[in-house]
Amino acid sequence: MSINYRPILPSSLLEIRKADDMSFTNKLSENMSLRLGVVIEIYEVDNKENVSKLTPEYDVMTIENDNTVKYKNCMAIDSLGGIADYFTKKLRKPKDSKKVRDSGSLKNQNGSIVLMLCIDGSSEQAIILGAIQHPDRKNGKLTKELGHHMEGEFNGLNWKVDKDGALTITFKSATDNDGKAKDTKTGGTTLKIDKTGSVDVNTNLTGDGETYIRMDKTNKDVGLKAGQHIGLTAKKNVGLNADAKINIKAKADILADAGGSFTAKSGGPFNITSEGPVSIKAPDLKIAVDNMCQIKASTVSISSPSIMVGDGGTPAVILTTQALGVGNLGMPVISTFIGPFSSSVFIGS
C-alpha cells in the first residue's frame, strides 16, 4: 500500500537525545501497538493540511507512558473499500480541542474515542481502525435485560434490533457532540418492524395532526392516516377492490371527474339521498325501468317544447278542449274532441 504521506513526527519523538540513542528510530519504525486515542482535529479533503486528498483526515491524541502523543493526518478505515461497495463516516472532534490537549487525559471530552494502528509500524502512517464505547455515553448500553441486541446512531438517526429481532429506526434530527437533538420539533419519526412482521411508520404527531402508515401482518390490515392531505397519483390505472364493503365519507365535498365515460353499477338496491337539490345535466337522458316507475312530489314541472308519452302518439287534449256527444237518452254518449289540442304533448297507445 502506498499513500502519499509527508513525514510528520509524533510530538513524543521531538525530544533531545544522544547520538547513539536508537529509541528514536525504534519509535518511528516499530510502532506495533494498538493505540487508544481521541480525535482532536479534522482536516477536510479541500483543506491544505489534508495530505491524501482522498478522505477527511484526523489528528488523534493518545496517552503513552503517561505522556500525550499526537498522531497527525490519520485516515479512518473504510469497512468495504471498493469502488461500488463502501461504508464511510465522519468522526467527531471535541467542541474545544485545545482543552483536551491541555488536559492530558481522554476523560471528560466529547470527541470520538478511536483505536489505531500504524502501517508497517510507521508512526507517520497511523490508520483509525474503529472505536470503543465512549465512557460518557449513558444510553444504549448492552445490559443483560436487552439480551441479544444491536444499536447504532449517527447524527441523530438511531437504529436498533432487539432480542426479538424487531427493528426500530428513529429520526431525532441532527445532534450535537453530546447527542442532544438540535430540532426537537422535527424529530420523533419512527419506522418499526415488530416481532410479528408488522410495519409501522409514524411521525409521532398526535390529535388532529396524527399521521402514520401501518401494515398489520397478524390481522392483515393496512392503516393510513394524515393530519392534512393524502395524494394518490398514477399515470395509468388505479384499482380499488374489496370483497366486502367500501365506505367513503367526507365532511365537505366529494368530487369525481372523469375525462372519459363514468359507469356506476349496483348488484342490489341503488340509493341516492341528498339533503339539498339534486341536479342532472346532460345532452340526452335515458331512463329504462323494467317494471314500475314512481315519481312522488308536491309539484311536478316539466318544461319542454315537445313531450312524447308512448310510441308516436297524437296531440293531447287540454283543459279547454270541448267534446261533442251524440246518443239517446239513458244511453252512453260517444264523444269526439273538437279541439283545441296540445302542440307539445303527444300521447301514444
Q: How confident is the model at residue 186 (pLDDT cuts 50, 70, 90)?
A: very high
Identity of the highest mean pLDDT range in 18-22, 93-97, 274-278: 274-278
DSSP secondary structure string, 211-237? -EEEEETTTTEEEEE-SS------SS-
In eight-state DSSP terms, residue 333 is P
Q: Does the structure show a pLDDT above 60 at 11?
A: no
The pLDDT value recorded for residue 335 is 72
DSSP secondary structure string, 258-313? -SS------SS------SS------S------SS------S------S-EEESSS-
The pLDDT value recorded for residue 18 is 44
Provide, rounded to the nearest whole percent, the portion of the chain with pLDDT above 70: 86
The pLDDT value recorded for residue 25 is 47
User: Domain spans of the chain?
Assistant: 11-131, 150-225, 307-347
- The helix, strand and coil proportions of the chain, stated in percent and rounded to the nearest 5, come to 5, 30, 65
Residue whose grid cell is 442532544: 180
CA angle, corner 96, sides to 94 and 98, nearest 5?
110
Higher pLDDT, 34 or 17: 34
The pLDDT value recorded for residue 68 is 86
Q: Which fold has domain 11-131?
A: OB fold (Dihydrolipoamide Acetyltransferase, E2P) (2.40.50)
Mean pLDDT of the 233-244 span? 92
Query: Side by side, which strands form the sheet with 189-193?
Result: 150-154, 157-161, 167-171, 189-193, 199-202, 212-216, 221-225
Q: C-alpha grid cell for residue 181?
A: 437533538
The pLDDT value recorded for residue 104 is 72
The pLDDT value recorded for residue 145 is 92
Q: Does the structure show a pLDDT above 90 at 136?
A: no
Q: How confident is the model at residue 12 (pLDDT cuts 50, 70, 90)?
A: very low
d(CA 21, CA 17): 6
The pLDDT value recorded for residue 1 is 44
Question: Whole-number mean pLDDT of the chain?
Answer: 85
Higher pLDDT, 243 or 318: 243
E strand or H helix that includes residue 80: none
Q: Model-level pTM greater than 0.75? A: no
The pLDDT value recorded for residue 23 is 47
Q: How confident is the model at residue 53 (pLDDT cuts 50, 70, 90)?
A: very high
- The tens digit of pLDDT for each residue in 306-339 reads 777 777 677 777 766 777 776 666 666 767 777 7
Higher pLDDT, 265 or 25: 265
The pLDDT value recorded for residue 27 is 53
User: Which range has the worst mean pLDDT, 267-281, 287-301, 308-322?
Assistant: 308-322
- CA dist list (Å): 39 to 47, 57, 69, 315: 17, 10, 12, 103
Q: C-alpha grid cell for residue 72?
A: 497527525
Q: How confident is the model at residue 181 (pLDDT cuts 50, 70, 90)?
A: very high
E strand or H helix that includes residue 125: none
